[in-house]
Structure 1
Amino acid sequence: MTQARLEIFLVAAPGLEQALRTEALSSGFSAPKAVPGGVVFQGRWQEVWRANLVLRGATRVLMRIGQFSVAHLSQLDKKAHQVDWASVLPQGATVKVETTCRKSKIYHDRAASERIEKALVDVVGAQISSDAEIIVKVRIEKDRCTISLDTSGDSLHKRGHKTATGKAPMRETLAALFLREMGFDGSQTVLDPMCGSGTFVIEAAEWAAGLMAGRDRSFAFEKLASFDPETFKNIKEREAQGFKNFKDLPPRFFGSDRNAGAIKNSQRNAKAAGVEEITQFTHAAISDLERPDCPPGIVIVNPPYGERIGDKRQLFALHGRLGQVMKERFSGWRVGIITSDGGLAKATGLPLLPPGPPVDHGGLRIKLYQTDAL
């Protein structure tokens, strides 16, 4: 297995690159730098495996394995054959190639993919398949070709234990980064009064308990030639030492929802994630929301907005009630509202700070609006 330091790219939802950089830094990765679309740092394969395993906000982890200037297809063909494919791909591996071309003399994605595929077949006897678990990502921009391996496989928001989802669920990776944007570090109380399938509450509880984000799933890197099962086992065992005894964590992660089915889903998901002991879910409308008997913390909510659920006309009153309940019962708490509609956020009447950057969520542009302590 090669031990050369290579460029590792952590994919983030655009707009949340700085939050992911903060997480990577706090997780001990060396000199991470936020760039458009993610975070980049130098590391070895062990860092790739650990990044997939522990980072809560990364969408996927790419390993850069080749970079060169290229101006025409024959040049791409020649240089693709010079990439050290054998160091990362086993002989006969089943591979998919995904290519994007932007502002380059090579502008035909499919033709570029065919050259990369030919190199893979010639060098390592690869089998090319559209549903392969191993994905080679090729980006040709301004006549610069970057070749990366997707080491994650399924998107990292798929933690491997969620069994029940509701309408328009928040992805776990987004939830983790929005929690970080609100200053959550694992020590605060977190409440979501419109919890849906419980994503914010469960993510916060796992984080506080020191549970690894990817502990219940497999990764594409396990099929690569560079994979060392024994070393990865040691990494998992070392990271698992951060797990905190639940007896040291009083229940401080709360969710409520007016939909009884959502509460059942949340409870089921919390149990599957192993955090049912430190989470509490209650069937309640916003008007009936009670302040938990614990120190003030963070209220974070992804309420319905018109594009996502349907009729927007009834939503202004709902947001108004939310704001009223926060002001009356949650003094000292900080509130975060995630929405695609700034008008709905303002309808809460809460003293909102300037919103965070727009973030893509299922084709919508959403922002985090938050308050200081009320």
Structure 2
Amino acid sequence: MEKSDTLEIFLVATPGLEAPLCDEAIQNGFAEAHKVPGGVSCRGDWSEVWRANLCLRGANKVLVRLGSFPAVHLAQLDKRARKFPWADFLRPDIAIKVEATSRKSRIYHAGAAKQRIETAISETLGAPISSEASLRVLLRIEKDLCTLSVDTSGDPLHKRGHKPAIAKAPMRETMAAMFLRECGFDGSEPVLDPMCGSGTFVIEAAEITLGLQPGRSRRFAFEDLAGFDAQAWQALRQHGAVPDIDLTFIGSDRNSGAIEAASTNANQAGVSHITRFTQRAVSDIKPSEGPAGLVIVNPPYGARIGDEKRLRSLYGSLGKVLMSRFSGWRVGIVTSSASLARSTRLPLLPAGPVVDHGGTKIRLYRTDPLP
């Protein structure tokens, strides 16, 4: 792999969260970071690809564009795929999975196109092809232009590698981190989640405050690419001293199983010394000692008709408790229903963009500091 060449790096965003991911990439110094459909494009060498996987909280995947060429029929694709410098990127001893899509192109059969790429890789490089492989090569054909990319992440990046326990309807870590960012959270204030489930918001907030890299506990697909430098990667992963923090991040939930899961996860993530999880009803929550901060919550939305009436009273009592006890705190509520958000009677700002949460359309509703 040419270290000097700058690569085109594509950070895959959760639909609706492209803007905070772009802000995060710019803040972390990724060159030429700008929003594009589906994510953020930036440039850098391979060490920047590693760094994106290691440190970005909002990216779902980090893809690298390997090259592109025009092709209008399968024979042409076949010929060009065989001339492609696969050995610059891939190793002959590591299995590859190929995926292909085609739009507005004369090569319209994605399955046949995928086969041509697989044959080219196995015959010119000798690498085995397997649908089970964790290293993926992606072919996108759009308007007769074939673009080849590699998924450098492997497992999706919300799988931080240090979260064993999951409660039901979990918020993905990548989404939680971007919602925290959208609420203006920068690590300098306490956070409270009164319906914390397995603790995602609280743990992400604590990690941000401690400066812990989200990818510190896991392996990535780029470690199987040609020219991967294990020593340089180790050096990049070295982490400085964890700062002394005088803040507490609090989660509570009615469900004892959720509290157990959240405590286990906080322990695994190395943030248990600044997090506290307690079993309690929403009506019993109180602000922590010290400065005002952020209350962020992903309450149940109720997918079935008839749920909304029952939930309206839950949102109503949450709003009442926040208005009466949390003066000076900001609030962020993630929900699929504008009318449920309004049931809190909180002074809501205009809603954030629609975000796709596993097929459910959700939005972030925020307030300024409460009176």
What is the TM-score when the length of structure 1 is the normalising length?
Answer: 0.96
CA distance in 2, matches of 1:54, 1:159: 11
Give the counterpart of 1:266 among 258, 262, 266: 262
TM superposition shift of 1:351: 1.3
SS in structure 1 opposite 2:68? strand
CA distance in 2, matches of 1:125, 1:301: 51
Structure 1 runs of 4+ aligned residues shifted over 4 Å read none
CA distance in 2, matches of 1:140, 1:334: 46
| Structure 2: runs of 5 or more not aligned | none
Give the counterpart of 2:242 among 241, 244, 252: 244
The equivalent of 2:70 in structure 1 is 69
* Correspondence list, 1:304-323, <5 A: 304-307=300-303, 311-323=307-319
Evaluate the alpha carbon distance shift between residue 259 and residue 27 of structure 1 in structure 2; reply closer, same or farther with a 3 A threshold.
same
TM superposition shift of 1:312: 3.2
Equivalent pair of 1:63/1:151 in contact (CA under 8 Å): yes
The equivalent of 2:293 in structure 1 is 297
SS in structure 1 opposite 2:235? helix
Which stretch has the larger CA shift, 63-72 or 207-216? 63-72
Q: Are 1:355 and 2:351 an aligned pair?
A: yes
The equivalent of 2:132 in structure 1 is 131
The equivalent of 2:164 in structure 1 is 163
* Correspondence list, 1:71-220, <5 A: 71-220=72-221
TM superposition shift of 1:119: 1.2
Equivalent pair of 2:245/2:274 in contact (CA under 8 Å): yes
1:29-88 CA-partner distances (Å, limit 9, x unpaired): 112111111111111110011111111111010010012222222222122222221011
Equivalent pair of 2:189/2:247 in contact (CA under 8 Å): no
Which residue identity lines up with residue 2 of structure 1 in the other structure?
A: E
1:87-136 CA-partner distances (Å, limit 9, x unpaired): 11111421001111122222211111011111111221121111101101
Q: Are 1:346 and 2:347 an aligned pair?
A: no
CA distance in 1, matches of 2:336, 2:148: 34
CA distance in 2, matches of 1:216, 1:31: 28
The equivalent of 1:285 in structure 2 is 281
1:197-239 CA-partner distances (Å, limit 9, x unpaired): 00000001011101110110000011111311011011111xx
SS in structure 2 opposite 1:191? strand
Equivalent pair of 1:256/1:283 in contact (CA under 8 Å): yes
1:245-296 CA-partner distances (Å, limit 9, x unpaired): 3xx2023211111111111111110001010000011111111111111211
CA distance in 2, matches of 1:226, 1:7: 18
Equivalent pair of 1:251/1:277 in contact (CA under 8 Å): no
Evaluate the alpha carbon distance shift between residue 214 and residue 335 of structure 1 in structure 2; reply closer, same or farther with a 3 A threshold.
same
Equivalent pair of 2:92/2:128 in contact (CA under 8 Å): no
CA distance in 1, matches of 2:159, 2:120: 32
CA distance in 2, matches of 1:227, 1:15: 33
| Structure 1: runs of 5 or more not aligned | none
Equivalent pairs: percent with the same residue?
Answer: 59
TM superposition shift of 1:339: 0.9
The equivalent of 2:234 in structure 1 is 233
